[in-house]
Structure 1
Amino acid sequence: MSDFPEFEVIPAVDVQDGEVVQLVGGERGTGKRYGDPVEAAERWIAGGARTLHLVDLDGAFEGERVNADAIEAVVRSVPDEIGLQLGGGIRAAEGARELLDIGLDRVILGTAAVETPEIVAEIDETHPGSVVVSLDAKDGEVVVSGWTEGTGLDPAEAAVRYEELGAGAVLFTNVDVEGQLEGINREAVESVVDAVDIPVIASGGVATIDDVVALKEAGAGAVVVGTALYEGAFALREAQDAADAI
């Protein structure tokens, strides 16, 4: 399920303390709450979502899965035909495999992939194409540990490295514009898209349907949208229809 045969607009269900939250610029404590994760998932599926993007925000900061119960409630509630990808706090191959076996289609690895790149190949051996490597960029540099630590890695160069290790897709988040509804950085996305053959899922800064269309034109295989959907800037179906029209 790592390939995206058609461009997808993917709603984010980011979970903190058991509730849906959208952070601003990746800063802990900036989040606005949007209620129950299962209700959010059901709302987006009713709105036409084909895939949901789940994030354990506490897990991303703490380095272990904190909201496992809330996430698993979403997994149980979602129809089989809906794709599910989860990130945040996944640090070991064994834990990733367990998640894939309970019904997730893709696991998203950020810090673990940077610190232990071989974990990507390890998971790919048993669950081919199921690893999405999350490359979060701040000032043009990949950052880890909940966006708090710089790595010195260039996002495009890092994407090539993980493609070689077996990653099925790359999730590229521009932290500089995350959650601010101020628009995307198309050039940053294009540089990663041009570097690899696997799909690039873009994230960060989407404020308008034009941003969604621009990311498709930039070559992204999908876009994750959070704040804009929760704040009602546009409807999920409208955005998907606009992307499908080009």
Structure 2
Amino acid sequence: MSHFPSFEVIPAVDVQDGEVVQLVGGERGTGKRYGDPVEAAERWTEAGAETLHLVDLDGAFEGERVNADAIEAVVESVGGDGVGLQLGGGIRTAEGARELLELGLDRVILGTAAVETPEIVADIDETHPGSVVVSLDAKDGEVVVSGWTEGTGLDPAEAATRYEELGAGAILFTNVDVEGQLEGIDRDAVESVVAAVDVPVIASGGVASVDDVVALRDAGAAAVVVGTALYEGQFTLREAQAAADGN
């Protein structure tokens, strides 16, 4: 089953110290704050979001889940409304991932853990098929890990193929060069990852306009995660989804 029967625009709810923030270029401390995570989640759901992209930013940097309470509050608030919830940040073990899936999340996003111990992907897939999204962050055309600080020498398309073979249900592909800067997307990079795998590719990073959303759809992405542009009011969720649906 495909997670995304049609192209989806997915709002990001990135949580740091219990508040919604958007970082610039993945740098800690560059975040602009946008209030309470539950309020943000409810706002996007009311605006028509079918999926929400939750990130525990402190978890991503510290390697453990720091904002568990805030995330759980979001799951309790909107998780039962037929809204798909995916969470990344600080998930390092299969056991930790399963706990989250049992809490009511639909998909878990693994980044550093998947790169360092790829068997975790297969392990989670065994009990919760299709629920693992492997997050590949690219900078200058190579996959980077640990909060974007370490290069791996891996080509994103090759890495995507490897994780698909291990059981990844989807690939989240983020171009860190353009993250949070509203400078537009790197369509070619997305196309090469899409061409490499059969599972859905969720694109993220640099979306500044409705045209970027449409370009990512045309590049073959199954969905796009949008953060800064939505919070800054560059366009509304409905405008982006309507354009992507060709209306």
TM-score where L is the length of structure 2: 0.98
Q: 1:41 corresponds to which letter in structure 2? A: A
1:148 CA drift (Å): 1.1
What does 1:67-78 align with in structure 2 at a 5 Å threshold? Answer: 67-78=67-78
1:102 CA drift (Å): 0.8
Look up the match of 1:63.
63
Q: Using the TM superposition, name which of 86-95 and 143-152 deviates more.
A: 143-152
Preserved CA contact (<8 Å) 1:53 1:224: yes
SS in 1 for 2:71: helix
Deviations 1:201-229 (A, max 9, x none): 00000000000000000000000000000
Q: How many residues align?
A: 246
CA RMSD of aligned residues (A): 0.9
Cα distance in 2 for partners of 1:3, 1:197 equals: 12
1:3 CA drift (Å): 2.0
1:150 CA drift (Å): 1.0
Cα distance in 2 for partners of 1:196, 1:97 equals: 25
Cα distance in 2 for partners of 1:195, 1:3 equals: 18
Cα distance in 2 for partners of 1:208, 1:5 equals: 23
Cα distance in 2 for partners of 1:49, 1:199 equals: 18
Q: 1:138 corresponds to which letter in structure 2? A: K
Q: 2:77 corresponds to which letter in structure 1? A: S
Deviations 1:10-57 (A, max 9, x none): 000000000000000001111000000000000101111000000000
1:149 CA drift (Å): 1.1
1:37 aligns to 2:17 (yes or no) = no
Preserved CA contact (<8 Å) 1:106 1:131: yes
Cα distance in 1 for partners of 2:35, 2:145 equals: 27
SS in 1 for 2:81: coil
Deviations 1:167-189 (A, max 9, x none): 00000000000000010000010
1:80 CA drift (Å): 3.4
SS in 2 for 1:192: helix
Look up the match of 1:115.
116
Deviations 1:94-132 (A, max 9, x none): 000000001000000000000000000000000000000
Look up the match of 1:82.
83
What does 1:55-204 align with in structure 2 at a 5 Å threshold? Answer: 55-78=55-78, 79-204=80-205
Closer/same/farther in 2, CA of residues 2 and 71 from structure 1, 3 Å limit: farther
Cα distance in 1 for partners of 2:191, 2:3 equals: 18
1:2 CA drift (Å): 5.9
Give ranges in structure 1 of 5+ residues lacking alignment: none
Runs of 4+ in 1 over 4 A off after TM superposition: none
Cα distance in 1 for partners of 2:15, 2:200 equals: 25
SS in 2 for 1:240: helix
Look up the match of 1:15.
15
Preserved CA contact (<8 Å) 1:92 1:112: yes
Q: 2:213 corresponds to which letter in structure 1? A: V
